C-alpha cells in the first residue's frame, strides 16, 4: 500500500497530540500527593488517609483520568479505520482541548469529594468572602497583535479559497474534489476556533470569589493562572490559523503535496511545534514561580466551606438543576455538580452537539 507524504504528516500530528494527552495523564496521576501525604489535591487530610478511605478515592481518581481517552476512542478508531486522516488529526486537537476542561472539573470534584469523605474540617475557616466586581471582559484579556495575526491568516485563507472557487468550473473533476475537501477543512478549522473562543470566555468571565485574608496573594495567583491558560488557548488558535492558511494555499495551488512543498512544509511544521512547546514551557515556569511564592494550597484554608445548595441533583450527584442559582458548578454531597440550568452549559451542550453533527455530516 502506497502511503502519501501528506498521510505521514497527518498520522504524525494525530500521534503527537495523543502522546501529549497521555503525558498529561501521567502528570495528573501523581497530583493528589504533590504536596505530601497530608493533602489530597487541595484538601488537607489526616494521617493514614491513603491507607484507609483515601485508597479507594485515589483509585477512582486514577480511573477517571482515562475518561476523556475512552470517550473519544470510538470516533478516533472509526476515523483511522476509514482513512479520514485529516479529520482524525483535527479530532485529536479538539479532544485535547476538551480534556483540559474535563481534567480541571475532575480535580475540583475529587478535591471536594475528599472533603465529604473526611468530614467537615472547616470549623477554623473564615465564614465570609468577597466577590470581585472588576469587569470581566474578553477584550481586556486579548493581545491585539495575536488577534490581528489570527484573523489576518483566516481571512487570507478564505480569500484564497473563494478565488479558487471562482475558477473551479474551468478545472478537472479532481480539482473540484480538492476544493470540496477544502470546504470541509474550512468548517472544521473555524469550528475549532469557535470552541477556543468559548473557552476563553468561560475562563475570563468565571465568577471570582476573594478571601478576606491574603486577598492580594490570591489575586496575584489567580491572575497568573488566568494568563497562563489564556496564552495557551491563544497560541493554539494562532497555530490553527497558520495551518489553515498554509493548507489552503497548498490545496488551491493545484499542485498537491509535491516534493517542493514537503521540503518547506514539514520543517516548518516541526519548527512551529518546537516554538510552541518552548513558549508553553516558559509560561508554565512563570506560573510555577508564582505558585512557589504564593503557595495556593494554603489559600484554600482562607475560603469558607461552601454548603450544598438547594435544588435537584441527579446522575449520581454530578449533575444539578436550578435556574435560580447563578453558579455553573456547585458543591454536592458527592463532590461537585454541573448546573445544567446555567447559560454557559447550554452553550457548551450546543457546541458539542454541533461537533457530533459535523463528525457525521462532513465525512459524507
On whether both 71 and 198 belong to a single domain, the answer is no
- Specify the residue for cell string 475549532: 192
DSSP label at 206?
S
Question: Residue 83's CB: how many other CB atoms inside 10 A?
Answer: 10
* CA atoms of 217 and 182, how far apart (whole Å): 49
Q: Inform me whether the pLDDT recorded for 103 exceeds 80.
A: yes
On whether both 115 and 238 belong to a single domain, the answer is no
On whether both 108 and 180 belong to a single domain, the answer is no
> What is the domain count for the chain?
2
Q: For the residues 45-50, what does the mean pLDDT come to?
A: 80
3-state SS assignment for residue 207 = coil
Single residue among 121, 152, 174 that ends a domain in this structure: 121
Q: Inform me whether the pLDDT recorded for 121 exceeds 60.
A: no
On whether both 283 and 142 belong to a single domain, the answer is yes
On whether both 163 and 14 belong to a single domain, the answer is no
Indicate whether 349 belongs to any domain: no
pTM exceeds 0.75, yes or no:
yes
* CA atoms of 361 and 364, how far apart (whole Å): 6
Single residue among 121, 156, 180 that ends a domain in this structure: 121
On whether both 301 and 152 belong to a single domain, the answer is yes
Mean pLDDT of the chain: 79
Give the largest CA-CA distance in the chain: 77
On whether both 161 and 262 belong to a single domain, the answer is yes
Question: Residue 86's CB: how many other CB atoms inside 10 A?
Answer: 20
Indicate whether 179 belongs to any domain: yes
* CA atoms of 144 and 36, how far apart (whole Å): 42
Confidence of residue 151 (pLDDT cuts 50, 70, 90): very high
Q: Inform me whether the pLDDT recorded for 150 exceeds 90.
A: yes
What are the start-end ranges of the E strands in 117-188? Answer: 129-131
On whether both 30 and 83 belong to a single domain, the answer is yes
On whether both 198 and 220 belong to a single domain, the answer is yes
Domain region containing 21: 1-121
On whether both 211 and 153 belong to a single domain, the answer is yes
Q: Over the stretch 217-258, which tens digit does the pLDDT of each residue have?
A: 888 888 898 899 899 889 888 888 887 887 777 666 655 556
On whether both 174 and 228 belong to a single domain, the answer is yes
On whether both 147 and 76 belong to a single domain, the answer is no
Amino acid at each position: 500500500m502506497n502511503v502519501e507524504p501528506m498521510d505521514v504528516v497527518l498520522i504524525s500530528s494525530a500521534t503527537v497530540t495523543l502522546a501529549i494527552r497521555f503525558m498529561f495523564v501521567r502528570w495528573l496521576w501523581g497530583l493528589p500527593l504533590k504536596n505530601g501525604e497530608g493533602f489530597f489535591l487541595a484538601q488537607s487530610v489526616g494521617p493514614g488517609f491513603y491507607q484507609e478511605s483515601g485508597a479507594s478515592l485515589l483509585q477512582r481518581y486514577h480511573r477517571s483520568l482515562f475518561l476523556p481517552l475512552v470517550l473519544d476512542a470510538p470516533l478516533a478508531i472509526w476515523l483511522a479505520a476509514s482513512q479520514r486522516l485529516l479529520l482524525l488529526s483535527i479530532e485529536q486537537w479538539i479532544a485535547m482541548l476538551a480534556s483540559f476542561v474535563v481534567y480541571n472539573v475532575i480535580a475540583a470534584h475529587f478535591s471536594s469529594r475528599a472533603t465529604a469523605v473526611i468530614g467537615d474540617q472547616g470549623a477554623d475557616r473564615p465564614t465570609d468572602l468577597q466577590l470581585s466586581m472588576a469587569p470581566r471582559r474578553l477584550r481586556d484579556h486579548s493581545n491585539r497583535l495575536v488577534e490581528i495575526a489570527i484573523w489576518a491568516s483566516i481571512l487570507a485563507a478564505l480569500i484564497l479559497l473563494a478565488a479558487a472557487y471562482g475558477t473551479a468550473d474551468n478545472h478537472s473533476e479532481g480539482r473540484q474534489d480538492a476544493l470540496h475537501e477544502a470546504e470541509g477543512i474550512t468548517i472544521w478549522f473555524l469550528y475549532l476556533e469557535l470552541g477556543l473562543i468559548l473557552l476563553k470566555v468561560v475562563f475570563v468571565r468565571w465568577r471570582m470569589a476573594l478571601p478576606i485574608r491574603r486577598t492580594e496573594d490570591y489575586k496575584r495567583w489567580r491572575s497568573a493562572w488566568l494568563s497562563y491558560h489564556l496564552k495557551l488557548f491563544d497560541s493554539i488558535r494562532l497555530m490553527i490559523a497558520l495551518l489553515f492558511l498554509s493548507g489552503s494555499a497548498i490545496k488551491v495551488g493545484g499542485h498537491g503535496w509535491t516534493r517542493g512543498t514537503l521540503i518547506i512544509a514539514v520543517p516548518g511544521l516541526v519548527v512551529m511545534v518546537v516554538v510552541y512547546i518552548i513558549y508553553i514551557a516558559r509560561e508554565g515556569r512563570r506560573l510555577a514561580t508564582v505558585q512557589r511564592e504564593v503557595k495556593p494550597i494554603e489559600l484554600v484554608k482562607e475560603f469558607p466551606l461552601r454548603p450544598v445548595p438547594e435544588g435537584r441533583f441527579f446522575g449520581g450527584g454530578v449533575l444539578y438543576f436550578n435556574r435560580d442559582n447563578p453558579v455553573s458548578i456547585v458543591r454536592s454531597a458527592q463532590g461537585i455538580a454541573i448546573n445544567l440550568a446555567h447559560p454557559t452549559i447550554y452553550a457548551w451542550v450546543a457546541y458539542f452537539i454541533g461537533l457530533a453533527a459535523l463528525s457525521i455530516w462532513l465525512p459524507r
